[in-house]
């Protein structure tokens, strides 16, 4: 079985009604792993998790937001995947998973892309470090923003060559 993954830029989950709406959608979509970007929360506890996903066996880890922006939350169904290791960086959260059904191991990275050009090099360093540490197949969520930046030339040109190890 292949886990079903949802990536969503929620633009904040401070509002209880918004969390209830997300909870309702997660229930109807029947996903196994959820990556929410731009949570805008500095801290996340079991109460927040329960208000988002009413799963009995849910695991989670998060990258706290910086002031009123950013934040990444990764949640998973523990009956589908087991979290082996996590790594929380400045702009990303990475998790290695092992599928319960077949034991296949893989990695997922949730990204909150920095808006300041000089900070983007830190993001590339995070990716390079993780890629070299975990020799596993990868799933990157929210990566399309980075590709669109490459195409539109918004400060990432010249970094295209750095994608080669991740795309092979």
Fold that domain 5-167 belongs to in CATH:
Deoxyribonuclease I; Chain A (3.60.10)
115 pLDDT band, cuts 50/70/90, is: low
Average pLDDT value for residue range 12-34: 90
Of residues 22 and 115, more confidently modeled = 22
| Ranges of each domain in the chain | 5-167
- What string of DSSP letters covers the chain? -PPPEEEEE-S---SHHHHHHHHHHHHHHT-SEEEEE----S---HHHHHHH---SSEEEEEE--BTTB--EEEEEETTTEEEEEEEE-SSEEEEEEEETTT--EEEEEEE---SSHHHHHHHHHHHHHHHHH--S-EEEESTHHHHHHHHHTSS-TT-GGGGHHHH-
pLDDT in tens, 144-163: 444 444 444 444 333 333 44
Please indicate if the annotation marks 38 as binding a ligand. yes
């Amino acid at each position: 079985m292949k886990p079903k993954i949802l990536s969503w830029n929620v633009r904040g989950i401070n509002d209880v009604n918004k969390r209830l709406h997300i909870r309702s959608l997660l229930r109807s979509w029947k996903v196994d792993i959820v990556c929410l970007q731009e949570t805008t929360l500095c801290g996340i506890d079991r109460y927040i998790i329960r208000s988002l996903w009413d799963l009995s066996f849910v695991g989670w880890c998060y990258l706290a937001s910086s002031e009123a922006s950013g934040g990444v939350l990764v949640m998973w169904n523990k009956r589908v995947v087991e979290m082996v290791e996590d790594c929380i960086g400045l702009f990303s959260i990475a998790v290695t998973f092992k599928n319960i059904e077949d034991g296949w191991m893989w990695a997922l990275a949730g990204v909150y892309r920095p808006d300041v050009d000089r900070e983007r090099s830190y993001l590339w360093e995070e990716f390079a470090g993780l890629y070299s540490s975990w020799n596993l197949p990868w799933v990157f969520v929210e990566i399309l923003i980075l590709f669109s930046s490459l195409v539109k030339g918004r400060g990432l040109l010249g970094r295209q060559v750095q994608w080669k190890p991740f795309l092979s």
